[in-house]
Amino acid sequence: MIGYEIEVEEAEEVGMDEGELEGAELEPPQLEQPESENTFQQISATEAKEIMDGNESFILLDVREREEFEEGHIEGAVLIPVNQITELAPNVIPDKGTLILVYCRSGRRSLDASQQLVDLGYTRVVEFGGIIDWPYEIVR
């Protein structure tokens, strides 16, 4: 352990008198850890596809409107329009630790929806933009 010098005034603040200071080895100062912000991660379509092709379970969340979804969506996607996230997500995705992959048309609504999910307490939210940038197959 590394010994640290301590001034008499500092010792009095922690309840030590001058006699206890001599030869005392003190713990190094502990830095306060900043509270981690609960936020979402952003990845590319390619990275999202790798997750989808892997073994980890996830929810693929399309946050567009029903008409857009019916025109074409990524296979296996669950539809919750961005303006219904706060009311529907807790019932559709009850486990706040579920990995959620979020997309929309261009990436704007998926950013908004991802933040809403984080605000609801979901801890594994991953946003990967819009279906217009999805180079893989879609269901029509």
Instruction: Note whether residue 139 is domain-resident.
Output: no
CB 31 within 8 A of CB 71: no
Residue range(s) defining the domain that contains residue 26: 1-31
In our burial notation (b when 16+ CB lie closer than 10 A, e otherwise), range 10-27 reads ebeeeeeeeeeeeeeebe
Here the CATH number for the domain that contains residue 56 is: 3.40.250.10
> pLDDT category, 135, cuts 50, 70, 90?
very high
Mean pLDDT of the chain: 84
Q: Does 26 share its domain with 67?
A: no
Is 116 tagged catalytic?
Answer: no
Q: Does 78 share its domain with 117?
A: yes
Q: Does 53 share its domain with 95?
A: yes
Tens of pLDDT, residues 77-100? 999 999 999 999 999 999 999 999
Task: Give the total number of structural domains in the chain.
Answer: 2
Q: Does 77 share its domain with 17?
A: no
Strand partners, 42: 127
Please check the confidence at residue 14 and state whether its pLDDT lies above 60. no
**Active-site annotation holder among 104, 113, 117, 125:** 104
